[in-house]
Amino acid sequence: MPEYKIREANINDIDFIVKAIIEAEKSGSEIFSYSKIFNLKEEELNQIFHQMLLEEIEGCEFSISSYLVAEINNKIAGTIGAWIENKENPSTIIRGNLLSYFLPKSSLLFASQQAKIISELNIDHVIDALTFAIVYISPEHRGNHLFELLANEHIKRNKGVKELSIQLMANNVYAIKSYERYGFKKELEMKSDNLKLLEILPYNEKILMKKQLK
Amino acid sequence: MERNEIEKKLEKIFKTVFNNDSIVLTNELTANDVDGWDSLSHMLLISEVEQEFSIRFKLNDLNKMRNVGDMINIITSKLQ
C-alpha cells in the first residue's frame, strides 16, 4: 500500500479542488449541472470556482478550508471537502452568496427559470453533522482506501462530532457501496418523475446517507 | 428611503422569490424559517434586492447577513 500523506488544502491546490468539484457534480455522467443551470461553459465555471475559492470563505464546498488532500510524491491523489453544518450560518447561504457575487447577472436570470424543477430534489443539510460534500479520488489511486484515510482524518480534526452526512445521486452505485462499507446508511431518498430534470442534473434521484459516530 | 418602505418592498420580493404570499418579514427571519430558501433561491433573492434598490452588495456585506434585520440594515446603509 503506498504511503499517502494527508494534509489541509491550500491555495496552491485550487486546480485539483476545482476538478474535484466538477467531477463530483457530474457524478460519473457527462452532465455538469452548474453548466446547465447557469448556461455557462465548463471552462467559464472553472474560472469562477477558482475566484470563489480564492476568497477563503469558510463553510461550504467553495471553501479551501473545507478540504483535506491525500498526497504522494508531491502529487495530490484525492480530496474530501467537508464541514460541520451550522444552523446560524448554513452552507446553502454561504454558497448562494458566493455564486450571486461571482456569476454574471444573465446566468442568474437563466437559473431563475430552472429553480422550481431543481428544488424537487432538494434535501436539507443535517445540522451539526460533519457534512461530506465533495469526494474525489484520481482514477489511478482508486482502491487504495483513500476515502477511509481522508474521512478518518476529517473526523479526527472535528472532535466531538456525532454524525456524518453525505448527499449523492442514486446512480453513483460505486460510491454508495464504498460509503456503506465505511458505515454510512441510506436515510432518505428523493425522486422526481419529471424527465426534464435529467437534462439538468446527472440523475433524477438523490440520496441522503448518514453515519453515527460513537 | 424610510425603513418601513424598505421592508414593504423587501416583503414583496420575498413573496415573489419564494412563491409564498403568506410570508411576513421580521428582523429575526432566517433561511431556516422559510420553505425553499436554498442556494439558488438565495441568489435570486440577492439579485432581485440589488435590482429593486439599485445597489450592489459587497461579498463582505453578504457574509455578514444572518437574518432579514441584517439585510435591511445593510440596504439602509447603502441608500444613505
Distance CA A57, CA B48 (A): 23
Q: Please check the confidence at residue B1 and state whether its pLDDT lies above 90.
A: no
Contacts of B76 (CB under 8 A, 6+ apart): B1, B3, B6
Average pLDDT value for chain B = 94
Cell of B77: 446603509
pLDDT at A146: 96
Return the amino acid letter for A205.
Answer: E
The DSSP bridge partners found for residue A166 are A132, A209
- pLDDT, tens digit only, all 214 positions of chain A: 779 999 999 999 999 999 999 999 998 889 999 999 999 999 999 999 999 999 999 999 999 999 999 999 999 999 999 999 999 999 999 999 999 999 999 999 999 888 888 888 999 999 999 999 999 999 999 999 999 999 999 999 999 999 999 999 999 999 999 999 999 999 999 999 998 999 999 999 999 999 999 8
pLDDT at A1: 72
Percent of chain B surpassing pLDDT 90: 89
CB contact under 8 A, A37 and B40: yes
Q: Which residues of B touch A109 (CB under 8 A)?
A: 47
Task: Tell me if residue A5 falls in helix, strand or coil.
Answer: strand
Question: Which spans in B1-80 are helix H?
Answer: 3-17, 39-53, 59-64, 68-79
CB contact under 8 A, B38 and A96: yes
Q: What is the mean pLDDT of residues B53-78?
A: 95
Residue with cell 433524477: A204
pTM for this structure? 0.94
Distance CA A204, CA A192 (A): 6
pLDDT at A115: 84
pLDDT at A116: 83
Distance CA A32, CA B17 (A): 25
B57 touches chain A (CB under 8 A): yes
Q: Which residues of A touch B63 (CB under 8 A)?
A: 57, 94, 97
Q: Of A98, A112, A45, nearest to B61 (Cα)?
A: A98
CB contact under 8 A, B43 and A100: yes
Residue with cell 452568496: A97
pLDDT at B57: 97
pLDDT at A205: 95
Closest CA in chain B for residue A112: B44
Distance CA B44, CA A99 (A): 10
